[in-house]
Structure 1
Amino acid sequence: MKHLLVFLIFYGQCTIGNVFALPNKLNIWNDLDPNHKHTTLFVHCKSGTIDKGPQYVPHGILYQFPIKENSWLRNTLFWCTFRHGPNYKYEQKFDVYKSRSHKVPQGSIYEWIVKEDGIYFRINTAPMHKVHNWKLA
Structure 2
Amino acid sequence: MKYLLVFLFVYAMCIIGNVYGGETNTLNIWNDLDPNHKHTSLFVHCKSGSSDRGKQEVLWGKKYTFPIRDNIWKTTLFWCTFRHGPRYQIGAVFDVYEYKAGVAQGGTYEWTAREDGIYFRLNQGTIHKVHNWKPMPW
- The count of corresponding residues between Structure 1 and Structure 2 is 123
Q: Match for residue 33 of structure 1?
A: 34
The code of the aligned residue for 2:89 comes to K
- Superposed, which structure 2 residues align to 1:54-133 within 5 Å? 54-70=55-71, 72-101=72-101, 103-133=102-132
CA shift at 1:17, angstroms?
2.3
SS at match of 1:45: strand
| Equivalent in the alignment of 1:16 | 19
Give 1:15 deviation, angstroms: 5.7
CA distance in 1: counterparts of 2:100 and 2:135, whole angstroms: 31
Structure 1 length as normaliser, TM-score? Answer: 0.84
Counterpart residue number, 2:51: 50
Counterpart Cα distance in 2 of 1:14 and 1:40: 37
Supply the distance in 2 between the matched residues of 1:79 and 1:15 (Cα, whole angstroms): 23
The CA RMSD measured in Å over matched residues stands at 1.6
Q: What percent identity do the matched residue pairs reach?
A: 57
* CA shift in 2, pair 1:35/1:15, >3 Å: closer
Show structure 1 runs of 5+ residues with no match: 1-10
Shift of 1:91: 1.0
Q: Which residue of 1 aligns with 2:5?
A: none
4+ residue runs of structure 1 moved beyond 4 angstroms?
Answer: 11-15
State the alpha-carbon separation in 2 of the partners of residues 15 and 86 from structure 1.
43
Secondary structure at 1:127's aligned position in 2? coil
Normalised TM-score (structure 2): 0.84
> Matched residue of 1:87: which SS?
helix
Cα deviation, residue 16, structure 1:
2.8
